[in-house]
């Protein structure tokens, strides 16, 4: 708007100058007639300048706006790529940290000394194979102490048989330990044949019973209370439980402890 006013002022001044020249008379009429006046040339140049400035007053602004939008778009894309790269780096770092923690936990478990009762050698009376409870690391182990003369033990073992059949294929081991330290492996094997209990049975040695009693209390040597516990895959274990549990309760306990 200010440019337009300025140009109009210039035109008005030039018009006044032209009128003054014409009023001065014909001192040099030939010059005024034969050649275009400087004033007229100036007026034409001024009009051309006004035409150029007024032809597209918003053109420069639109071009600047498009350039700004393009720059903003480029910056946004760059920031988005940087954010994605940062998120990817963070995810990789978290995954690496998780893997490191898992490896450290596994190393700690491996270095942690096993309780003595997990390392005492036992014999599977059905197969004659020697084993320790620590041999089943990485699996869930259900351990029950029992006696061949105990009716409560037989009831719980029957429920264990049902639970075991329903958990076939899972990393769960069932072990029955006879507290009858004077019974022979053959006699215990006959008991399993008569009852149809076809998993691992072993006779606990006096040393084994002593270590179990030190860890769980004397109740573990009392078969009618049907004492039992679970060893977790990492080697830790539950407190001693007693009572005749249903197959579903046994399965639930094993699943809760990692079975």
pLDDT tens per residue, range 62-117: 666 666 776 676 776 777 777 776 666 666 667 667 665 555 555 455 556 889 99
Which pLDDT value is given to residue 23? 61
User: Would you state the pLDDT for residue 113?
Assistant: 80
Question: Token pair for residue 138?
Answer: 């990485």
Q: ∠39-41-42 over CA atoms, to 5°?
A: 65
Rounded Cα gap, residues 225 and 239, in angstroms: 15
Yes or no: say if 209 and 122 are a contact pair by the CB < 8 Å rule.
Answer: no
Q: What pLDDT does 32 receive?
A: 41
Residue 13 lies in a domain: yes
pLDDT of residue 35: 46
Is residue 68 situated within a structural domain? no
> Residue 125's pLDDT band (boundaries 50, 70, 90)?
very high
Please report whether residue 59 resides in a domain: no
pLDDT at position 6: 65
Q: Do both 127 and 245 map to the same domain?
A: yes
Token readout for 168 is 């076939």
- From residue 14, alpha-carbon distances to 2, 41, 54 in Å are 18, 10, 20
121 and 47 in a single domain? The answer is no
Domain count, the chain: 2
pLDDT digits over 20-35, tens only? 666 655 544 444 444 4
User: Residue 231, SS3?
Assistant: strand
Whether residue 60 lies inside any domain: the answer is no
Residues 234 and 136 in one domain: yes
Residue-range definition of the domain harbouring residue 161 = 117-256
Distance CA(87)–CA(82), nearest Å, equals 9
Q: 173 by DSSP, 3-state: which?
A: strand
pLDDT level of residue 14 (50, 70, 90 thresholds)? confident
pLDDT at 143: 96
Residue 232 inside a domain? The answer is yes
């Amino acid at each position: 708007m200010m440019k337009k006013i300025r140009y109009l002022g210039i035109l008005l001044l030039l018009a006044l100058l032209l009128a003054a020249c014409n009023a001065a008379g014909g001192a040099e009429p030939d010059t005024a007639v034969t050649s275009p006046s400087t004033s007229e040339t100036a007026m034409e140049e001024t009009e051309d300048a006004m035409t150029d400035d007024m032809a597209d007053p918003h053109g420069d602004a639109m071009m600047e706006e498009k350039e700004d939008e393009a720059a903003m778009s480029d910056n946004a894309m760059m920031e988005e790529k940087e954010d994605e790269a940062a998120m990817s780096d963070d995810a990789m770092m978290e995954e690496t940290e998780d893997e490191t923690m898992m490896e450290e936990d596994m190393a700690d478990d491996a270095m942690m000394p096993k309780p003595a009762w997990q390392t005492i050698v036992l014999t599977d009376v059905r197969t004659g194979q020697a084993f320790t409870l620590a041999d089943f690391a990485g699996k869930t182990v259900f351990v029950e102490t029992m006696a061949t003369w105990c009716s409560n033990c037989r009831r719980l073992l029957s429920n264990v048989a049902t639970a075991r059949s329903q958990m076939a294929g899972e990393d769960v081991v069932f072990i029955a330990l006879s507290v009858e330290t004077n019974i022979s492996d053959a006699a215990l094997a006959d008991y399993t044949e008569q009852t149809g209990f076809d998993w691992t049975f072993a006779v606990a040695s006096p040393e084994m019973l002593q270590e179990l009693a030190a860890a769980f209390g004397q109740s573990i040597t009392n078969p009618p209370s049907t004492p039992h516990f679970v060893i977790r895959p990492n080697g830790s274990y539950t407190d001693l439980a007693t009572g005749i549990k249903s197959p579903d309760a046994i399965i639930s306990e094993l699943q809760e402890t990692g079975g």
